[in-house]
Chain A
């Protein structure tokens, strides 16, 4: 029983990690708290869902469409909500407010589109295959999800630390001014950054939509609130931190729901956030020197 719950926790937690990755990536480079990340996630899930409903595409294509959809929404968000502020050099307060506004608009449009319905992926989107392994019931879907998440994280780390583009991103994270002098185009960097972040959120959206079998306009809010806890626990801007903390939060939450009560889970998770902020605001893997940037792994 305990092992089964742990397994469920790992699955949920890895999706939390995936969602939080995009969030922490943007924070690490631009120091923006993107409060509209939940809405991007939701639109990614919508893109995947509508692709499945309208064109009957298979699971991998739905994931891809969710990723591209989330990425595009995120890029537009950057153009509309953050770029004017960046140009002015506005304080971090402004970008939070602006992204809250953007999030309200995106949520409301989604609500109109779906008439506040809860929608579902078709039942046969993913075959139900169950393995029995040492008394554990493991679904193929769960394995695939954990696999996808780890692949995405490794891919992201490779992109950031082993390619030219990643070097550009890290350089802009270090200093946009210096990067410009060195001939790096911050416009292109931010485009990639927001697309990547949105794509990660979109994939997380499609996965969550399939796992919990529901897609609706408010689906991003609980994840966004969890993501705050995840990124603080993992260290703002730290990529491995986001993954580890995501897993941890997923496990804690699943165990609390299973053994204490569902209502306590939220209180416990947010008390944990409070506690981490008090004891170690830089998080598990954050670096207290630099305000935890993606330059530091």
Chain B
């Protein structure tokens, strides 16, 4: 049993890291913001964390705190101008952000070491650290999700006009969503750089953006289980398909298309919906029995 865990530790770690990224993407999508900025926030978090430790020699927890804070700050900075944009325009603006961060990390060689990335970062975060982080973020997301903020997110996503007429400030909640997304992605980036010894700019490019979006679409955008399910499926699936190495991307693409066409609400949300419907049906049939009896 222990050897099983041991040989699969990297896979577990990757799944946990992906779950964090998926949460960052999930929180904006839930609020109806079509942001693709998660990869940019994660890159910022990773570089902040790596530089804090390698250049300044500070302890790693300062790096994590700084990465979260700066991630949240960038999220807030992006949210202010993006409050005017919707849908496709938001997607494009955040895509531009990813590209801007990518070219900064590639070209600001003095600080980021350019395309070589930052190497020999001491490994300070293991499986346990990642587990704790995911547990805290999951709890936090669940708490927010069932609070008034979560309800407001749901209303805004479904219909902005209704939200406004209910007195919900769209700008404010979009702002909250961006800050949360930035903070979580910053944390994910920091943990990744403390977990993997080295970071390079191209890890945080278009590919990451696509995979993270795929996780949330596949898992579901409403319930808290969505990003977790999506991250686990899309982390484990490539391992199962290792024999078909060449067709991994094809399968990923096909899965993404199939899930948005045939399962538009995602695996978790569809299952939860089906479960609720069945419970309601059972309740009503039981009530009918008691009435007839």
Binding site for B on A (CB under 8 A): 27, 33, 80-81, 84-85, 88, 90, 92-94, 96-98, 100-105, 107-109, 111-112, 221, 225, 228-229, 232, 236, 261, 263-264, 266-267, 270-271, 273-274, 277-278, 281
Contact = CB atoms under 8 A, between A and B. Distances in A.
B103 A101 contact: no
Q: Which 7 A-B pairs have the closest CB atoms?
A: A104-B253, A101-B256, A263-B107, A101-B257, A108-B249, A105-B253, A267-B103
Nearest to A232: B92
Given A93-B34, A97-B213, A100-B213, A270 B103 contact: yes
B33 to A, nearest CB: 11
A281 B85 CA distance: 8
B254 A92 contact: no
Nearest to B209: A100
18 contacts: A81-B257, A81-B261, A90-B260, A92-B88, A101-B214, A101-B252, A101-B258, A111-B249, A221-B206, A225-B206, A263-B107, A264-B103, A264-B107, A267-B99, A271-B96, A273-B96, A274-B81, A277-B85
A101 B260 contact: yes
A97 B88 CA distance: 12
A109 B251 CA distance: 11
Contacts of A81: 257, 261
B93 A102 contact: no
B97 interface: yes
B100 to A, nearest CB: 5
Contacts of A228: 92, 95-96
Contact of A107 (B85, B106, B249, B256): B249
Nearest to A228: B92
Given A94-B260, A267-B104, 17 more contacts: A27-B88, A90-B260, A93-B87, A96-B88, A97-B260, A103-B253, A105-B250, A107-B249, A108-B249, A225-B99, A261-B107, A263-B103, A266-B103, A267-B103, A270-B96, A274-B100, A277-B96
A96 B96 CA distance: 16
Nearest to B98: A270
A39 to B, nearest CB: 10
Contacts of B85: 277, 281
Most buried by B among A27, A104, A221: A104
B260 A98 contact: yes
Contacts of A92: 87-88
Contacts of A274: 81, 93, 96-97, 100
B252 A84 contact: no
Given A104-B210, A105-B249, A273 B257 contact: no
B88 A33 contact: yes
Nearest to A273: B96
B253 A80 contact: no
B10 to A, nearest CB: 24
Given A97-B260, A267-B104, A236 B88 contact: yes
B256 A104 contact: yes
Q: Main SS of chain B's interface residues?
A: helix
B258 to A, nearest CB: 8
A112 B88 CA distance: 32
Given A33-B88, A102-B257, A109 B93 contact: no
A108 B250 contact: yes
B25 to A, nearest CB: 12
A274 B80 CA distance: 13
Most buried by A among B91, B92, B210, B264: B92
B247 interface: yes
B260 A278 contact: no
A277 B253 contact: no
A291 B92 CA distance: 16
Contacts of B93: 273-274, 277
B255 interface: yes
Interface in B230-261: 246-250, 252-258, 260-261
A224 B207 CA distance: 14
Contacts of B264: 88, 90, 94
A101 B107 contact: no
Contacts of A111: 249
Nearest to B109: A263
B139 interface: no
Given A85-B260, A274-B93, A104 B249 contact: yes
A103 B107 CA distance: 28
A271 B100 contact: yes
Contacts of B210: 100, 104
B100 A267 contact: yes
A112 B99 CA distance: 27
Contacts of A96: 88, 91
Interface in B121-145: none
Given A104-B210, A263-B107, A277 B261 contact: no
Contacts of B91: 33, 96
Given A274-B97, A281-B84, A97 B217 contact: yes
B34 to A, nearest CB: 6
A267 B93 CA distance: 13
B89 interface: yes
Contacts of B84: 278, 281
A98 to B, nearest CB: 5
